Structure 1
Amino acid sequence: MVQAQAGADAAGARIGDSEFDRDTGVRRVADGVYTAELPPGWAAVGDALNGGYLLAVLARALRDALAHPDPFSITAHYLTATRPGPAVIRTRAAAPGRTLAAGSAALFQADEDGGEVERVRVLATYGDLGALPDEVRTTAPPPALPPPDACPGTRDDPGGAAGRPPIAGRLDLRLDPATAGWAVGAPSGRGEMRAWFALADGRDLDPLALLLAVDALPPTAFELGLRGWVPTVELTAHVRCRPAPGPVRVAVTTRNLAGGFLEEDVEVWDGADRLVCQARQLARVLAR
């Protein structure tokens, strides 16, 4: 298996030996070709696997295929819903530069006739986050959230585990009460979602886990008064630095829903008040 970065989290799973690392693991079987076994525990709607989880799987294959370790910019187009089970990832690397390397990857699964269907296609630029200068100039303020203990989590759902998607058991997600009105039938109409995000087994977050974080919150469509599936069409993430240990704050906003599609702009802030990841996705609104 392609190994994650070495490291440890005193409060939970060791990086490289956590559920997230096992479930995003890939095996190189030829130059640029990898296999993966995608478990059902990361399904978000029915048996369709979460887009952020899939992006992390493809990013792990690219980490092995490219000359630099960290995704700086990565864009995924989701062509068809990916289901649990075996998958093949094929990568192509461009000629690397001294500080950046670019490449592409595509994830395939077998169809009912034994052929292949492409599920996700990715284009990415990698570098070394540890080699970047420390200077930060930003006008972006971190989101103001209540403490995690004052935010309802997935374990507080009165419907219990039976009413939650499988991915909810993999995450420690605590929603800002100001953006959780949809859960009690009182959506705000503002198109905002904020939460504390961590992995349920306590594993500290790294750049690959940030790719999961940007697509882990309930859709902003819920706070617009819509319920149902909001599948991602395209997702681009920019990883800015490695996060400090501990949970991160995720803020998602939507400004425009038109023609059955909406955008979600995402910011991820760590405990040191650093903007560690940004993302934007286009999603199709199948909710009503």
Structure 2
Amino acid sequence: MPEAATAPARRAMIGDSEFDRDTAVTRREPGVYDIDLSAGWTIINAVNGGYLLAVLGRALADALPHPDPFTVSAHYLTASQPGPAVVRTETVRAGRSLSTGQASLFQYDDEGNEVERIRVLASYGDLTALPDDVRTTAVPPSIPPLEQCFGPDDSPAPIPGSSAITDRLKLKLDPATLGWALGAPSGKGEMRAWFGLADGRDADPLSLLLTVDALPPTAFEIGLMGWVPTVELTVHVRHRPAPGPLRVSITTRNLAGGFLEEDAEVWDSEDRLVAQSRQLARVRLG
């Protein structure tokens, strides 16, 4: 008998994907949430900062009266590890159009002491209630068609810094920003890529918190390899993204004193600028 045809993988929907399951928090009591941080979103054994931001963002969406993150500023205090964690939130102000809250994520060290990993201050609103008045001089990044770009699966050898998170992303990098992978970094401090989640889930405001911190560090194209831990990250969510792949552009213009900035823009399939971010990160020199 002929072999049965393999059924195509079901495309994940918002609310029913690995990202949703791994960022889901359980309310223990008002303002206190439990979560088991997934090892699937790690980079060199540390949990990705964008994934952590989405975890705290989900807790704040539950705690605040408005649904969508507008601006989220995070300070990364200590490296998070996969495993149990507690998120504590506090409502700072609840207004008609914006609510402001803060959240911290805690884990325990080997001696049983509680350690704060990340602290966030955020304002939430309703993106669907915003007026559709766009006056921007920004333009989408110029990236070759997706089929002309390259991801981790296209490399003949493991890309330095690769980790579990790459299996959960559909990441295709602009060849012009891939010199580092070939041993010839451009020195320009630029990364550009097509971006999506591997299970096909479309982007939403919460997943944009992951998107801005999911590309390889711009430090790679400056000629520096290794872990580039985030010190502070601020994200502005500007619009609810349309279905389809995102385009992400990240630039660094100043590496000094062992720190660099990364400015990111995220554009959706309708050429709308849906998120912007800036982060300060530490680099290891020498």
Identify whether the pair has TM-score above 0.5, normalized to the shorter chain: yes
Deviation for aligned residue 1:114 = 1.2
Deviation for aligned residue 1:20 = 0.2
Q: Is 1:176 equivalent to 2:190 in the alignment?
A: no
Deviation for aligned residue 1:60 = 0.2
Q: Which has the larger radius of gyration?
A: 2
Distance 1:117 1:127, change over 3 A: same
Contact 1:227–1:287 (CA under 8 A) maintained in structure 2? no
What does residue range 112-127 of structure 1 map to in structure 2 within 5 Å? 112-127=110-125
> Aligned partner of 1:86: which letter?
P
Long gaps (5+) in structure 2: 1-8
What's the secondary structure of 2:133's corresponding residue?
coil
What's the secondary structure of 2:94's corresponding residue?
coil
**Normalized against structure 1, the TM-score is what?**
0.94
Deviation for aligned residue 1:106 = 0.1
> Aligned partner of 1:90: which letter?
R
Distance 1:188 1:162, change over 3 A: closer
Q: Is 1:17 equivalent to 2:4 in the alignment?
A: no
Deviation per residue, 1:197-235 (Å, 9 max, x gap) = 000000000011101000000000000011111100000
Q: Paired residue for 1:283?
A: 281
Distance, in Å, in 2 between the alignment partners of 1:94 and 1:281 is 24
Distance, in Å, in 2 between the alignment partners of 1:126 and 1:18 is 23
What's the secondary structure of 1:226's corresponding residue?
coil
What does residue range 1-288 of structure 1 map to in structure 2 within 5 Å? 12-45=11-44, 47-159=45-157, 164-286=162-284, 288=286
Distance, in Å, in 2 between the alignment partners of 1:158 and 1:74 is 38
CA RMSD of aligned residues (A): 1.4
> Aligned partner of 1:38: which letter?
L
**Normalized against structure 2, the TM-score is what?**
0.95
What's the secondary structure of 1:241's corresponding residue?
coil
Distance, in Å, in 2 between the alignment partners of 1:148 and 1:75 is 31
Contact 1:170–1:201 (CA under 8 A) maintained in structure 2? yes
Deviation for aligned residue 1:164 = 2.9
> Aligned partner of 1:154: which letter?
P
Deviation for aligned residue 1:94 = 1.8
> Aligned partner of 2:227: which letter?
W
Distance, in Å, in 2 between the alignment partners of 1:87 and 1:287 is 32
Distance, in Å, in 2 between the alignment partners of 1:287 and 1:174 is 28
Deviation for aligned residue 1:95 = 2.9
Moved more, 90-99 or 59-68: 90-99
Contact 1:51–1:215 (CA under 8 A) maintained in structure 2? yes
Deviation for aligned residue 1:160 = 5.1
Identity of aligned residues (%): 68
Contact 2:72–2:236 (CA under 8 A) maintained in structure 1? yes
Contact 1:154–1:172 (CA under 8 A) maintained in structure 2? no
Distance, in Å, in 1 between the alignment partners of 2:277 and 2:15 is 25
Q: Paired residue for 2:4?
A: none
Contact 1:195–1:250 (CA under 8 A) maintained in structure 2? yes
> Aligned partner of 1:217: which letter?
L
Moved more, 151-160 or 85-94: 151-160
Distance, in Å, in 1 between the alignment partners of 2:228 and 2:160 is 21
Distance, in Å, in 2 between the alignment partners of 1:270 and 1:34 is 31
Distance, in Å, in 2 between the alignment partners of 1:118 and 1:163 is 25
Distance 1:175 1:161, change over 3 A: closer
> Aligned partner of 1:30: which letter?
E
> Aligned partner of 1:109: which letter?
Q
Deviation for aligned residue 1:56 = 0.2
Long gaps (5+) in structure 1: 1-9
Number of residues of Structure 1 aligned to a counterpart in Structure 2: 278
Distance, in Å, in 1 between the alignment partners of 2:242 and 2:18 is 20
> Aligned partner of 1:214: which letter?
V
Contact 2:159–2:181 (CA under 8 A) maintained in structure 1? no
Q: Paired residue for 2:6?
A: none
Distance, in Å, in 2 between the alignment partners of 1:121 and 1:156 is 37
What's the secondary structure of 1:95's corresponding residue?
strand
